[in-house]
Structure 1
Amino acid sequence: MAKLRNLSITSPILFALPFRSEWAVNPVDINKPIMDGDWDEAGSLKFTRGFVLVKNDANYLYLALDVVSDTGNDSSTNDYFWLTFDNTRDRAITSGVDVNYGLYPGQPNKLGRQKYLGPGQWTGLLSDPSNSAVVQEFGPSPNSDVSHRIWKFRIELSEINVSLSWPLSTPFTYFGFRVKSSNPGFTTDFPGNFYKDFTKLRQLILSRKPSIPAKDLGPLVGSVGLIPTTKINSSTGRATTDSGYFHFVENAAFGGTLNLIGNRTKMKTLYGAGNRKYMVEIAGPDGGTYKKLVSNWSNYRWTGSSYTLESFAPNTYGYYQLANPDTDYSIDDLLIQFPTSGLLPGIYAVKVTFFIGTSYTALDTQVLKLYIDNHLPAAIIESVKHGRSEVSACAIETIGAAPDGLNFRITANDPEGNLRAVNFYATYGDGLSTSIFSEGYSTAKGDWQGFVNKLIPASSNWRPPQSCAYSFVLTASARTTDGYKWIGKNPTHRNLTLLLG
C-alpha cells in the first residue's frame, strides 16, 4: 500500500489539531485510480466513515474523500457529497463569499459550485467557468482493499481564496464535508452541522515546500519562491521556467514580497560545519555600491501539534543567522523575506555571503540579478465611437441594423516592457459577458510594452448581443511574479446602455 502521513481523530484534544497537506511534486491526475501512486505520501485524516487525503501544489488543492464504509456500488447521484470552504477564514458564514461544492443532478462526475447565503442556504449552482473538477471512483484504496466509494477533487486555490505567497502566515483554509451513501445507508457530516455552523470547521494547512529538482537550484540561493535561480537570466534579471512547471513564467520580472530560499543541500553542509553567519546586500539599477539589505520577517515552526511563529532579523551589524535546516518550518531554508514595493523599476543585484564560523572571512557568495518592477501597466479606454460620434459614459445609444455598431480605441502600455496580457470585454445582463479583444504574451514579443490608442475592432464594428446596459472592461496584467504567482493588474471600465434598433 502507498505510504500516508496519518493523523487519526481519537480524542477531543487531537480533534483540535490542524490537518496538513503535503506537496504534490507532480500534479495529481484525478482521472487515474487512487492506487496508481499520485496520492502516495498524501496528508491523511481519519473520520468515522473513512479518510481524507490531501496534497497541493501552487495552483490546486488535491483532496480525496476515501469513504471506506460505502461498499455499495450505487449508480447515478444517489450517493453524493458536499464540500465546504470558509473563504474568509473567520469560522463564520459570510454570505456570497464562502463556497460549497456538490454534484450536478444526475451527473456524478460534474462538479457544481455555489456560494453560501446563510446557515444551510445557498445561491444555487454558479455558471461561471472553473478549472476545479471531481471524479468518482469505486475500488480499493491505500486504506482498504475492499472496493468502496472514493471522491477525488482538484480545487483551484483561487476559488477558496488561498495563496501560497502569503508573507505573514502559513497558507490555510477551514473546511467541512458531507458524504451520503444509499447502500449501506448513512449520511455523515464532518464536523456535525458544519453547513449551519462554521465554528468547528477543520483547519487545513497547505504546503509550500516544493521539491524543486536539485539540478535547477542555484549553488547558494536555490530559488526565489518557487522559481529556481538557474531559471533567472543573469543579464536581464527576468525568469523563464519550463512549460508544465509549478509556476510557469516567461521573461518575467519580480515584484511584491520576495522569499530567497537556500539550496537545501548547501544549507545543511554550512549549518553542520558551524558556518551559519551570513549577510544579504543589494545594489540598485544605477550600478551603485552594495548596501546591507536589512529585513525582519516571520516564519512558522511546526512543533508537532501546531505552528509557532518565530521572528527573524539581522543583528546590529547586519548579519543573519541560518536557521537549523532540520527544523520543520512553513518555508524551509528561508534566507530572507523582503518587500520590494518601494523600489524603482530596474535590475537589482542581490548578494548573499556566508562567513567562516563567527569570523568576518567570506566563505561562499552568490550574486543574483533580479528585474524588479511594481509599476502597473496603463489601461485606458481612450474612446468609444458610434460611427464618427463619441459615445460618452452613461449614454443611451441606439444601434441600427448590421453592420452598424461601435468601435473603440484602447491603450494597454507598460514602459518597462513587462506586459503579460490584455483583455477587453463587456459584461451585461445577469452575469453574462462577451469578449471583444484579447492578446497575451509570447517570447517572440521580447520585453512587450503593449500598444497605445489601438483601434478595436481593426475593421468593421462591434455589435452588442442584445439590448442591455453594458460595462466595457479593459484589464492590463503585468508580467511580474513574486515567485509563487503572477501579481499586478490594472482594470478600468466604462458603462453605457445599448439598444438594438
Structure 2
Amino acid sequence: MAKIRSLSITTPLLFAAPFKSEWAQTPIDINTPLSAGGWEDAGSLKFSRGFVLAKNDAKFLYLALDVVDDLGNDTGTNDYFWLSFDKNRDRAITANQDVNYGLYPGQPNKLGRQYYLGPGTWTALLPDPSLSEVRQEFGSSENSSASHRIWKFKIDLQEINVALSWPLSTPFTYFGFRVRSSNPAFTTDFPGDFYKDFTKLRQLVFSRKPVISPSLLGPLIGSVGLIPTTKIDTTGRATTDPGYFIAVQNAAFGGTLNLIGNRMKTQQLWNDGIKKYKVEITPPGGSAQKLISNWSNYRWTGSTYALESFAASSLGFYELANPSIDYSIDDLLIQFPTSALLPGLYQIKVIFYKRVGPLDVAVDNQTIGLFIDNHVPAVNIDSIKHGANEVSACAIETIGAAPDGLKFKITANDPEGNLLAANFYATYGAGLAVGIYSENYTPALGHWMGFSGKTIPASGNWRPPQSCAYSFIIVASARTTNGYGYIGQNSTHRNLTLLLS
C-alpha cells in the first residue's frame, strides 16, 4: 500500500495562529437572531471592534461579525462590510479568482460577489446566482448586552474553493474583512490593508468532525469519513438518510479513506489499557493481508494545529490515539489510499489486542465491506451528424431552416455500475451555455452503468440558438465517495462553428 505524504497547513513563524471553525450540527438559520441559538460553541476570534464567530457543515461556512462597537442603528447601506477569501490559498491576490463579498447598494440583506483584479481593485458585482447569503441584525449578543450591529453570513464552500474531502490536510482558507460604521464613525480592516496584501490574511481552519448520532455508528469502526458504517450495505455501497449532511445514494468508495472509530468504544478500550490494533484488507477472491499505511493528523494545542505522524510497527500494530485529545480528525483509526486497488468488494477488518503475559490476544474486532472503484466513467461524443453526413471537429457547418439541425450519439458508461450523472451541453459566445441532454441517478436504476451510443435528441434535430463557434461537452460524474462527498468525473469536448442560414 502506498504511503501518504502529509502537507503542513501553517508556516508558524510568519503568520498568526489559525482561527478555528466548529461543526454546525444543524444548518444555522441566519434569519433568526444571533442570540436565538445555533451559534453556541462557535469558534470565536476577537478583533478591535468586536468578535468573529465561525461554524461550518459540509456545505456552508456560517460566519458572524459581531460588531459590538457599532451602536448606531443606521438604515440602508451606510454601514457596510467587505469579506474577502483567498480561493487558491497562495497568500497572493490572483486576478479573476479571489473573491470579495459586499452589499448591493441600498440593499443591506442582499449579498454581492466580485473577483479581485489586483490590490484594492475588483470586477463589478457578478450576475451569476449564488447560494451564499447575508443578513444584518441590530441587537444584543453573548459578547454585549447593548444593541449593536451584527452581520451574519452563509457562505457556499464551493464558492471559496473549500471541500471537507481534502485527504492530506485539514481544510482551510485565508480571509479578511472590513466593517464600516457611520454612527459612531469608524472603518476597521482586519487585518489592516488586507485587500491590498493577502500575506496579512488570517487562516480559518474548518471542522470536519461532526458528532454523528451514536445510534448510527458501527460498533467499532464508527464511520468511513462522515458516512456511518451502518449505512453501508452488503454490496459495500453507502446510502445515507435524506437530510443527512453527506448525501449519497448507493455510492461506492474511492480516493483516500478515513476509518473513524466509535468514540464511546475507543474511549472504553483506552480506559481499559487496550491501545494496540491491526488492520487487515481482503481483496475480492483473495486472502487477508496487513493493511499498512502512514498518515498524519493535526492535534489542536489551544492556539494552532501541530502535525503528528502515525504508522504501523514492524509487527503491523498501530497505537490508538488518546480519544480525549482534540485532533483535526477525531478517533482516526487509519487513513489509506485506494487509488492502486482494482475495482471490487474489499473486506476491511480492525482488530484490537490486549497484552496477556508474553502474548498479544485479540479482544475485539469489526469487519466492513467496501466496494472500491477509482475508475472514472468513460465518455465520448461518438458522432455528430448533419443529415446523413458526419460533421468533423473544427468544421464550419451551415444549418438551414427548421427542422434542419444536428443529431448526436454520446456515451457515458461506467462498467462497475457507479455512474452518478451525465450532462451534455454546448458553450458559445461570451460565457453562454445551452443544455442539450442530462440524466441523473435514481435508486430505481440500481447499479447504473449509463449508456453507450445514445441518440440525442431521440426525435427531430438539435438547433443552435445563434450563429457562433460551439464547444460540445459531455461530463460524467462517478457515484463514488471518499466519505465526505462524491469524487471523480470525466469529460471530453468537440468544437464546431455553426451558421444559421
The answer on 1:290 being equivalent to 2:278 is: no
Structure 1 match to 2:308: 310
CA contact (8 A) 2:413 2:450 kept: yes
* Distance (whole Å) between structure 1 residues aligned to residue 14 and residue 147 of structure 2: 29
Which residue pairs with 1:274 in the alignment? 273
Residue identity opposite 1:316 in structure 2: S
| DSSP 3-state at the match of 2:215 | helix
| Alpha-carbon displacement from aligned partner over 1:228-283 (angstroms, at most 9, x marks no partner) | 000001x1000000111111100000000000000001011001111111000000
1:217 aligned partner, one-letter code: L
Aligned to 2:333: 335
Contact kept, 8 Å, 2:247 with 2:485, in 1: the verdict is no
Report what 2:158 is aligned to.
Answer: 158
1:180-329 alignment runs, 5 A limit: 180-233=180-233, 235-286=234-285, 288-329=286-327
Distance in structure 2 (CA, Å) of the matches to 1:166 and 1:45: 25
SS at match of 2:355: coil
Residue 77 of structure 1 deviates from its aligned partner by 2.1
Do the aligned partners of residues 389 and 178 (structure 1) sit closer, same or farther apart at CA in structure 2, a change above 3 Å counting? same
In the TM superposition, residue 221 of structure 1 has moved relative to its aligned partner by 0.4
1:350 is matched with 348
Q: Which amino acid aligns with 1:283?
A: T
What are the equivalent positions in structure 2 for 1:64-79 lying under 5 Å apart? 64-79=64-79
Residue 127 of structure 1 deviates from its aligned partner by 2.9
2:53 is aligned with what amino acid?
A: L
Deviation at 1:119, TM superposition (A): 0.6
> 1:274, 1:357 within 8 Å by CA — same for their partners in 2?
no
Q: Which amino acid aligns with 1:40?
A: E
Instruction: Give the SS at the match of 1:360.
Output: strand
**Paired residue secondary structure (2:35):** helix
The percentage of aligned residue pairs carrying the same residue is 71
- Are 2:103 and 1:106 aligned? no
Within 1, Cα distance between the matches of 2:128 and 2:488?
23
**TM-score relative to the length of structure 1:** 0.94
**SS of aligned partner of 2:139:** strand
Partner deviation per Cα, 1:313-344 (whole Å, 9 max, x = no partner): 01001111101111111111100000000000
- Whole-angstrom CA distance in 2 between matches of 1:239 and 1:340: 17
Letter in 2 for 1:298: S
Equivalent-residue separation in structure 2 for 1:460 and 1:145 (angstroms):
67
Equivalent residues of 2:248, 2:485 under 8 A apart: no
Distance in 2 (CA, whole Å) between partners of 1:342 and 1:466 is 46
Q: Which runs of 5+ in 2 are unaligned?
A: 1-12
Distance in 2 of aligned mates of 1:426 and 1:128: 18
Q: Output the amino acid matched with 2:216.
A: D
Aligned to 1:7: none
Residues 395-414 of structure 1: CA distance to partner in whole angstroms, max 9, x if unpaired? 12222222222221111110
Counterpart in the other structure of 2:392 = 392
Contact 2:474-2:493 at 8 Å conserved across structures: yes
The answer on whether the counterparts of 1:276 and 1:357 sit within 8 Å (CA) in structure 2 is no
Q: Determine if the alignment matches structure 1 residue 370 to structure 2 residue 370.
A: yes
Q: CA deviation at 1:147?
A: 2.4
What residue in structure 1 maps to residue 475 of structure 2?
475
Question: Cα offset for 1:139?
Answer: 2.2
* Corresponding residue for residue 419 of structure 1: 419
Task: Report SS of the residue matched to 2:230.
Answer: helix
Q: Distance in 2 between matches of 1:453 and 1:171?
A: 40
Q: Which residue of 2 aligns with 1:5?
A: none
Letter in 2 for 1:494: R
Letter in 2 for 1:170: T
1:448-501: per-residue Cα shift (whole Å, max 9, x none)?
011111111112222222222111111000000000111000011111112222
Distance 1:465 1:66 in 2: 49
- The one-letter code sitting in structure 1 at the alignment partner of 2:241 is D
Aligned to 2:434: 434
Secondary structure of 1:186's match?
strand
Stretch deviating more after TM superposition (207-216 or 127-136): 127-136
One-letter amino acid of the structure 2 residue matched with residue 456 of structure 1: I
Partner amino acid for 1:333?
Answer: D
Q: What is the one-letter code of the residue matched to 2:101?
A: Y
Aligned to 1:8: none
Q: 2:121 matched to which residue of 1? A: 121
Matches of 1:80 and 1:127, distance apart in 2 = 20
Structure-2 residue corresponding to 1:406: 406
Aligned length: 487
1:488 corresponding residue in structure 2: 488
TM-score by length of 2: 0.94
Deviation at 1:126, TM superposition (A): 2.3
Q: What residue identity is the alignment partner of 1:99?
A: V
Report if the CA contact (8 A) 2:381-2:410 is conserved. Answer: yes
